[in-house]
Structure 1
């Protein structure tokens, strides 16, 4: 019986031919992803930060422990399986047929067949899968830029909120000193008791403002720790200089960096993936060849016959015409989308650069001109009130103006950093801002 199936040894030759049909291309995706993937997903050690948190530490911690980056890295790793699966050849098929069931009259046929793909289908599948992996790699880089920008924005939100707490504390101290001054003047009979009432109302308002500022600061710190992937309450203070503003990029700088923006690169990769899909659709229209070897054993004659078979579908009707047309139009759509995405991003970035410059000028004007004038007016009004030259309303109005200007300044600074972070996010910046 062993001699009956000796021809089946040719199966090894068929598998060798199928494997040698086309080589699997090496993975191709942005090289910088190798260095940008987060470290151990197990979140090593994020310890409570006793010292004030710096901007660089916040960004580094976010890039190392943000859950969204781990998800993007896992998605990139999943595409390795997609590329590997696309490069596999079809499995051979083993078939056994038996004619008649009577002893001595049975005819047994065993055959091993293998489909040999033609037209470059395997290479086209691998190319399409590789383009998907390139997009996943770019998504990881874009996610890193997004996490970095979000961490910077959250850091400066926490920093400005922390400064607002200081302003509110100073406001309460000033209001308390105003109450003391009003009490002394009322006791001396120099002013009406209503001055003391107004001073106490101002102090109560200052206490409410302080509690609100403290709540906003706590919320900003929680948002920062969430971006960093750090435990709740691990960040108590941040360390930075509010007055150091980022440099607004010029129009030539934006144009030079536009081609590296994640949205533009993704749109171009989508064109490449659509082109690979069109190539696969064309290859699918070419019929594959199936070859087989086997043996036929007839018990009645005691004879074993070798079998060889070749089958090819005849593409009379289905040549994947509809699939080719669909893939071609999707490629055209991807090209148009890439052009539109570049134009949109260019316009938005130039507008944000102008907005950033305007907000920087506003913040610098407030710091260098408005704030000193408001502070001088307040100090003069306070001194005049203590000397009895001004009423408490005059001193209170000057104090309120000074504090409002300081709050306006911190709001302008926060908007500057928010706009700069958004520009970095759109351009895909991955280096830490000093």
Structure 2
């Protein structure tokens, strides 16, 4: 049957003289190891997920489950062999009856039950293949998001270290002025608090980076990721995305989860046909040969057994199957709505954050840096108070961290959009850094 060839081609089954059995797992087929040296990019991590992710492996196995059922639906009923020896002893002096028979019975499918069962099974195989792709997209999306988080954390750590260097210079200035009795000790204490606070923030960010490594490992079946060698593309800043309505139309027509739900609707419709076919039970034909021991003469017997669907016409199962179609259609609507909701939310987050980021970088960050430089020069010259310098430093710190946070929202939003709508990311128009 074609389904067997397809399953064999996908590496899900293997056959030999002992029959058909599940093929080796992906992990067994491909011994996986990270490169010994050199960078590990996003593509390598996603390829590792295809081999190691339990979610993807489970989705692949479900294809085998429904494929096996579709194959089973193609078989005809087995014949029955019966052997009988009959010996009736009379009680009135007659000779009685003594005979032996051997017969063969074969159920005959008189409806389109087999065709309907095969059609239903193949529809569900198609659904599970699409569900595998949806699972891959979901796992890949989670990994991309985590890689964007790694990029954010690295950028945040680097930015905090720069700010800590600035705070250290401020502390040195305050300490030098305190030593010559040009400033009170409180200025030194405040500067030290700012410096130590940034150090604590760096430690927290490094801890978050370790957490991200654990999350990535969870998507890879527990296989650790060499995070120090993982190269994440720069955080994208200014992208030109297609309109939301265009992306939503793409979701409705091409997303594998939507197509899988649609295939399950088709499978449910085929199940209605299957239950209707069950209204007409199989006819059983029997032929046998025997020997009458009274005269040792042979005989042939034949017969047909026809069940009469008078009391049970399978109406209950037909009704249940029709409701199953309704349920699958509503599930299709639910899947589509959930994806469109996620897309709309991510798109609006990206739209808002990208606009704020552009304005922030143009109007706020440069001014904060210039204000700090002027305050530092003024404080060293004695024309500005220490509080003015500290306020300028805090403003620069807040502005720098806010920029990184906006970059985080932009990159996470793009990762979320990419998970829902894959195709437009092949031709995005970048006006800033490429992801």
Band the TM-score falls in, shorter-chain normalisation: 0.7 to 0.9
Q: Could you report, residue by residue, the CA deviation over 1:117-152 in whole angstroms, capped at 9, with x for unpaired residues?
A: 121111111111112211111110001111221111
**Aligned position for 2:41:** 54
Note the C-alpha offset of 1:264: 2.2
Residue range with higher mean Cα deviation, 60-69 or 211-220: 60-69
Q: Deviations over 1:374-430 (max 9, x none)?
A: 111122222222222222222222222222222222222222222222223233659
Q: Secondary structure at the match of 1:315?
A: coil
Query: Equivalent of 1:174, from 166, 172, 179?
Result: 166
Residues 236 and 411, structure 2, Cα contact 8 Å, conserved in 1 = no
Give, in angstroms, the shift of residue 347 of structure 1: 5.4
Task: Identify the match of residue 176 of structure 2 among 164, 170, 184.
Answer: 184
Counterpart for residue 235 of structure 2: 242
Q: What SS does the corresponding residue of 1:41 show, helix, strand or coil?
A: helix
Give yes or no for contact 2:248–2:343 (8 Å, CA) kept in 1.
no
Alignment of 1:75 with 2:69, yes or no, is no
Compared CA separation, residues 230 and 220, structure 1 to 2 (3 A): same
Call closer, same or farther: CA 1:246–1:81 in 2, change over 3 Å: farther
Q: Is 1:415 aligned with 2:409?
A: yes
Partner of 2:196: 204
* Preserved CA contact (<8 Å) 1:157 1:220: yes
Judge conservation of contact 2:171–2:191 (CA < 8 Å) in 1.
yes
Question: Residue 226 of structure 1 is aligned with which of 218, 225, 228?
Answer: 218
Partners of 1:369 and 1:68 lie apart in 2 by 45
Note closer, same or farther for the CA distance 1:50–1:178 as it changes in structure 2 (3 Å cut): farther
Does residue 388 of structure 1 match 2:382? yes
The aligned residue for residue 401 of structure 1 is 395
1:361 aligns with 2:347: no
Q: Which moved more, 1:424-433 or 1:148-157?
A: 424-433
Query: TM-score under structure 1 normalisation?
Result: 0.84
Residue 352 of structure 1, CA deviation? 3.4
Taking the aligned partners of 1:430 and 1:251, their CA distance within structure 2 comes to: 11
Paired with 2:63 and 2:147, the residues of 1 have a C-alpha distance of 29
Post-superposition shift, 1:39? 8.6
Distance 1:376 1:159, change over 3 A: same
**CA 1:28 to 1:153, structure 2 compared with 1: closer, same or farther past 3 Å?**
farther
* Equivalent residue, structure 2, for 1:320: 314
Tell me the CA shift for residue 162 of structure 1. Answer: 0.7
Change in 2 beyond 3 A, CA 1:144/1:337: closer
Name the CA shift for 1:79/1:306 in 2 (closer, same or farther; >3 Å).
same
**CA displacement at 1:96 relative to structure 2:** 1.4
- Deviation per CA, 1:196-240, whole angstroms, max 9, x where unpaired? 222222222222112112111222233234334573252215433
Residues 69/233 of structure 1: CA separation in 2 closer, same or farther (3 Å cut): closer
The SS at the match of 2:176 is: helix
Q: Distance in 2 between matches of 1:400 and 1:341?
A: 46
Of 77, 92, 107, the match for 2:79: 92
TM-superposed CA distance for 1:89, in Å, is 1.0
Query: In 2, Cα distance between the equivalents of 1:361 and 1:29?
Result: 49
1:65 and 2:52 correspond: yes
In 2, Cα distance between the equivalents of 1:430 and 1:221? 29
Question: What residue in structure 2 maps to residue 19 of structure 1?
Answer: none
Q: Which structure carries more relative contact order (alpha carbon 8 Å, separation 6+)?
A: 1
Q: Secondary structure at the match of 1:236?
A: helix
Give the TM-score of the pair, scaled to structure 2.
0.84
Give the total of aligned pairs.
409
Change (3 A) 1:351 1:163: closer
Structure 2 CA distance, aligned partners of 1:404 and 1:181? 21
Which 5+ residue runs of structure 2 have no aligned equivalent? Answer: 12-23, 90-95, 427-433
Listed as ranges, the gaps of 5+ residues in structure 1 are 1-23
* Residues 1:113 and 2:105 aligned together: yes
The structural deviation recorded for 1:69 is 1.3
**What residue number does 1:349 align with?**
343
**1:48-101 deviation digits (Å, cap 9, x = unpaired):** 665444333333333343232122112212322111111111111111111128
Q: Distance in 2 between matches of 1:422 and 1:222?
A: 20
What is the CA RMSD across the aligned residues, in angstroms? 3.2
Do 2:268 and 2:325's aligned partners in 1 also have CA atoms closer than 8 Å? yes
Indicate the residue corresponding to 1:41 in structure 2: 27
1:246 Cα shift? 4.8
